[in-house]
Structure 1
Amino acid sequence: MTRTAPPPSRPPEPDGPRQVSKFEFNLLRILRFLVGHFPADQGLQLVRTATSKPDCISSGAVDLVKDTLGKALVLFLTRAGGWRNDKYLRNNAPTAGRVWDRIPLDERTLEFSRPVLDFLFWLTAEKVHETKLAWDAAPKALTPTDELFFALAFDAMRSDPDVLTVLRRKDTFAQNPFCWLLMPQDAAAPDATKPQPPDFTPMFTGLRAVLLECMQTYLTHRWVKSERDKGQIGDWKKMRHQGQTEFAALRNFLQAAEAARRTDLARFVLRTNAAVLQSDLTPVFWTGGLQGSGPQRLADRLETQRAALALPRQMEILETWQERARFVGYFDEDYQASQMWKADWEAANGDRVAARARAAVEMLEPLRGPVAGQPSIPGPAQGDENPEGSPG
């Protein structure tokens, strides 16, 4: 079930085949492209083409927009993982079943608001890569379903560099938590000295939490592909930017999940690490495609390589969750939640995955301590406060 705020429309049309104008036809094709039901090359061509905008659209076109939005998002969430018979926390207790079994209907109703339709109008009427119309939507004005739709739209269009440049300047995407979970390297400005992810706290309550439950498998597949593709990145600056934005997004997300006591919504981080670290890996797995010797400063080269390992570096947080869960007693409030996390950890072979992640990260820290199989850097003997050659 979906709800949308309709734009100004013409009087109802008689029954029969729905007739739409050229503008409405292009708008509907762009919408289908954004939700993955229309060829990407043709969709991007429409986005780069302007169509004369009418004063209003027909009621038939409005109905088609609402129908397409509702069905496409439901289909996406079902395929993304909502169909799975799984367990998630509800009132701090594991609840099993598919999403429509676990969650009452009124808590999983998808609601769209006016900014979605305004966005479709803007895409259809403007050459987005050359637009002079300052469209944007305030993040606080968006519903959770709006945020997910805009993230899917951003994902569909980000392959066009010109369009991406325009979109990433808008708060609708730059402050969208779903964009930062799916493609943080594109959601953040490429020249940002320090990535600033949005506040992930609202993601763990209400409909946003339901959407995250449905998307765990989808997120896992996305991050696994991203990790395996890193070995093909040849540009040092691009690698550093991607790694830093990934680290900032994941670290903030995990901190918010811990504060909300919804560690089950961070399963995709654990499962992605488990899928990537099926064997002992060296940093070359992530950085093997980098071309040339890189930046002149050794510190910058090391920082780029550390950034490439943004995902395995999150295992230290997940490991602390596991250690804490081991000491939760039977009569403690979080006992059931801790048991579920321990089951997830065991299913992913978390101890082995954490050890492999730690070993890979330590290979990039030559001054922090010895790495297995490598000689350590000798230090001063115990009690020698002023070894020879050091300043007094």
Structure 2
Amino acid sequence: MTRTAVPPTRPPEPDGPRQVSKFEFNLLRILRFLMGHFPADQGLQLVRTAVSRPECISGGAVDLVQDTLSKASVLFLTRSGGWRNDKFLRANLPVAGRVWDRIPLDERALHFSRPVLDFLLWLTAEKVQETKQAWDAAPKALTPADELFFCLAFDAMRSDPDVLAALRRKDAFTRNPFCWLTNPGDVAEPDSTKPQPPDFAPVFTGQRAVLLECLQTHLTLRWTRSERAKGQIGDWKKMRQQGQAEHAALRAFLQAADAARRTDLARFVLRTNAAVLQSDMTPVFWTGGLQGSGPPRLADRLETQRSALALPRQMETLEEWQARARSVGYFDEDYQAAQMWKAEWETTQGDRVAARARAAVEMLEPLRGPATPGPAAAGGGPTTTENPADSPG
């Protein structure tokens, strides 16, 4: 964390146990809550409570903030997948090892800037759901570590509807690519018919790409859990909004990954589909919890059900990547990257997964006749159906 990115502080304190004020104590507890090291119910209570803000905070409190940010962030990234002996592309060539083996130290060092501390001060002093003091951070002013922190903060507080509504008005969250990869349904505007995710191109360069390497396992688990929970969603509007946000985020992300030639950073999409589509599935797996007959128009009901299958619909793009990888020759520039993708596809039984995804999606196309199998259909189950899924479920 850069030491220049702090507000005015009191003179340095002598060595020994840190002495902090009540305000600073609350700020540190909120920070620990946002990083997953403090009970959520108590953390949200602090967020919803206003405390008189002092003119400055002590140097000891700033040191504790820096120490908590650095240790908790590294621990989170390590647990999320950085510890794995995995393989990722570097200069378009596969490089194996744990993150500290693959990436030089200067590219792994996390730097937190002024907006993080300003946010913690605002969060401690204000009732976020009834704030009278404006706060936001311009996306261009944030470092990769800042974006990761705001993603974790958003995830920690999104369970409170009032706080979530306040956070949705902040560019620090709504234009944050990591927020869109972990919680697209929550970060998108609830009444938007065409969600607008941020530009994902920066995620595939520099330290953001390193963070995304560490988050592959975390993202796989998050999306798998989200897909399996869709069957419990009873509200048609909520299902449609969440599905549309997921589809917009995944489509934009995969397009950016393809353009950056970093398909390895999209492996969580393939792995999540493989985890969910372990057998032949019908749309009821995703939409079985919807209550009532839904919207009066058949087109709206079908669109809601299509939206629920946002993740399986991405297998069409991944299937195209696999077909292209198969066409890369030994002397082509992308040969090793293509071999790496084909190995991942084979490990996850991509042909079978793609066939199951295609079959589930086509069940929601009542006007489509028998379809021609895709380029990878030979490896799996049924690819066509004529069932016009025009019922609510």
- Would the TM-score normalized by the shorter structure come out above 0.5? yes
- Determine the structure 2 residue equivalent to 1:176: 176
- Determine the structure 1 residue equivalent to 2:139: 139
Superposed, 1:70-89 pairs within 5 Å as 70-89=70-89
User: Secondary structure, in 3 states, of the residue corresponding to 2:132?
Assistant: coil
Instruction: Give the aligned length.
Output: 376
How big is each residue's C-alpha offset from its partner over 1:250-298, in whole Å with a ceiling of 9 and x where there is no partner?
0000000000000000000000000000000000000000000000000
The one-letter amino acid of 1:278's match is Q
Contact 2:366/2:386 (8 A) holds in 1: no
User: Secondary structure, in 3 states, of the residue corresponding to 1:135?
Assistant: coil
- Determine the structure 1 residue equivalent to 2:157: 157
Deviation at 1:134, TM superposition (A): 1.1
Contact 2:29/2:43 (8 A) holds in 1: yes
Deviation at 1:185, TM superposition (A): 0.6
- Determine the structure 2 residue equivalent to 1:356: 356
How big is each residue's C-alpha offset from its partner over 1:173-230, in whole Å with a ceiling of 9 and x where there is no partner?
0100000000001111101121000000000000000000000000000000000000
Superposed, 1:221-300 pairs within 5 Å as 221-300=221-300
- Determine the structure 2 residue equivalent to 1:123: 123
The change in CA–CA distance for 1:102 and 1:375 in structure 2 (over 3 A counts) is closer
User: Secondary structure, in 3 states, of the residue corresponding to 2:96?
Assistant: strand
1:148 aligns to 2:148 (yes or no): yes
- Determine the structure 2 residue equivalent to 1:333: 333
- Determine the structure 1 residue equivalent to 2:375: none
The change in CA–CA distance for 1:185 and 1:339 in structure 2 (over 3 A counts) is same
The one-letter amino acid of 1:51's match is V
Contact 2:111/2:143 (8 A) holds in 1: yes
Whichever of the two has the greater Rg, that structure is 1
The one-letter amino acid of 1:241's match is Q
Contact 2:369/2:386 (8 A) holds in 1: no
Contact 1:370/1:376 (8 A) holds in 2: no
In structure 1, how many angstroms separate the alpha carbons of the residues matched to 2:142 and 2:248? 23
In structure 2, how many angstroms separate the alpha carbons of the residues matched to 1:323 and 1:342? 9
Contact 2:200/2:253 (8 A) holds in 1: yes
Deviation at 1:374, TM superposition (A): 5.2
In structure 2, how many angstroms separate the alpha carbons of the residues matched to 1:6 and 1:241? 39
In structure 1, how many angstroms separate the alpha carbons of the residues matched to 2:143 and 2:386? 55
In structure 2, how many angstroms separate the alpha carbons of the residues matched to 1:303 and 1:75? 41
How big is each residue's C-alpha offset from its partner over 1:143-201, in whole Å with a ceiling of 9 and x where there is no partner?
01100100000000000000000001111101000000000011111011210000000
Contact 1:369/1:376 (8 A) holds in 2: no
The one-letter amino acid of 2:352's match is R
The change in CA–CA distance for 1:323 and 1:375 in structure 2 (over 3 A counts) is closer
The change in CA–CA distance for 1:232 and 1:256 in structure 2 (over 3 A counts) is same
The change in CA–CA distance for 1:374 and 1:106 in structure 2 (over 3 A counts) is closer
Contact 2:305/2:364 (8 A) holds in 1: yes
- Determine the structure 2 residue equivalent to 1:381: none
The one-letter amino acid of 1:109's match is A
1:3 aligns to 2:2 (yes or no): yes
The runs of at least 4 aligned residues of structure 1 exceeding 6 Å deviation read none
- Determine the structure 2 residue equivalent to 1:19: 19
The one-letter amino acid of 1:367's match is L
Deviation at 1:370, TM superposition (A): 3.0
Contact 1:3/1:110 (8 A) holds in 2: no
Structure 1's unaligned 5+ residue stretches are 378-392
Deviation at 1:6, TM superposition (A): 2.3
The change in CA–CA distance for 1:349 and 1:52 in structure 2 (over 3 A counts) is same
The change in CA–CA distance for 1:332 and 1:297 in structure 2 (over 3 A counts) is same
The one-letter amino acid of 1:331's match is F
In structure 2, how many angstroms separate the alpha carbons of the residues matched to 1:305 and 1:197? 21
1:311 aligns to 2:306 (yes or no): no
Contact 2:312/2:358 (8 A) holds in 1: yes
- Determine the structure 2 residue equivalent to 1:220: 220
Deviation at 1:15, TM superposition (A): 1.6
Contact 1:8/1:57 (8 A) holds in 2: yes
User: Secondary structure, in 3 states, of the residue corresponding to 2:329?
Assistant: coil
In structure 2, how many angstroms separate the alpha carbons of the residues matched to 1:304 and 1:227? 15
How big is each residue's C-alpha offset from its partner over 1:217-244, in whole Å with a ceiling of 9 and x where there is no partner?
0000000000000000000000000000
How big is each residue's C-alpha offset from its partner over 1:53-76, in whole Å with a ceiling of 9 and x where there is no partner?
111111100000000000000000
Contact 1:236/1:291 (8 A) holds in 2: yes
The one-letter amino acid of 1:75's match is L
User: Secondary structure, in 3 states, of the residue corresponding to 1:95?
Assistant: strand
User: Secondary structure, in 3 states, of the residue corresponding to 2:194?
Assistant: coil
The one-letter amino acid of 1:120's match is L
Percent identity at matched positions?
Answer: 82
- Determine the structure 2 residue equivalent to 1:192: 192
1:54 aligns to 2:54 (yes or no): yes
Deviation at 1:375, TM superposition (A): 5.5
